[in-house]
A and B are shown apart, each in its own frame.
Chain A
Amino acid sequence: DAEITQSPRHKITETGRQVTLACHQTWNHNNMFWYRQDLGHGLRLIHYSYGVQDTNKGEVSDGYSVSRSNTEDLPLTLESAASSQTSVYFCASSVAGGTQYFGPGTRLTVL
C-alpha cells in the first residue's frame, strides 16, 4: 500500500548541531509539505514543494531548509538547531488541488 513515512520518529540533539528529518512518500504525489506543531500554535507551514527542484518558504521557514531531488522525498534540514525548534514535525503530501495526507510525525528535542 502507498504511504508516507518519516524518520526518525524521535530525535534528541544539541544546540548548534545540524539535523535532517526524512520524509518519504510512495503515492507519487507532486506536492509535499513540512509543518511543525506546537501547543497554542497548531500546525504551521515551514516549507513546501510542488515538484522536483521546486521549493518554497512557508510561514516559519527561518532556520530550516529543504531540497527536492526526486518525487518521493523531501528532507527537512535544521542548519543549526536551536531550543526554539523543539517541536513535533509533520510531513504531508498531495496531488495538485487534492487532500493532504500526513506522516506519523517526528518528535524533535533540542537540548
Chain B
Amino acid sequence: SQELEQSPQSLIVQEGKNLTINCTSSKTLYGLYWYKQKYGEGLIFLMMLQKGGEEKSHEKITAKLDEKKQQSSLHITASQPSHAGIYLCGAGALNFGNEKLTFGTGTRLTIIP
C-alpha cells in the first residue's frame, strides 16, 4: 500500500517568512491533493496536482508535483497568521479512477507575529 511521509512534522515560522512543506510517496505519484485543517475543524481543499511537473498557485500558496522524485511540495510566500494550521497531503490510487485517498500524517504550521 502507498505511504505518504510529510516533512517537517511541525514548523514554527515568523510572520512574513517563506516556508516549504514536503510530501514524499513510497510509490509513484499519479495525483496528489493538498488540504488545510484549522485546529478542531474539517479539511479544506487547497489544490490538486495530476501531471508530472505541474505547478498550481492560489494566493500565496504554490504546490508542485515531481513525479520522478515521487514528491510534492507546498510553498507559502510571505506567511500570515491565517496560514496557521495543519497541512495534509493525500494521494489517490494508480489510475485515479479509484478515489480512495491515502493521507500523510500532516505538518503543523505555527506563525509567530
Contact = CB atoms under 8 A, between A and B. Distances in A.
Interface of A: 31, 33, 35, 40-45, 48, 58-59, 90, 92, 94, 96-105
A33 B55 CA distance: 28
Q: Is the interface of B mostly helix, strand, loop or mixed?
A: loop
Chain B residues touching A, range:
20 to 34
Contacts, number: 52
A104 B42 contact: yes
Interface in B55-111: 88, 90, 96-97, 99-106
Interface string B29-57: 00001010000111111001000000000
Nearest to B6: A42
Contact of B88 (A33, A43, A48): A43
Contacts of A41: 105
A84 to B, nearest CB: 18
A97 B97 contact: yes
A100 B96 CA distance: 13
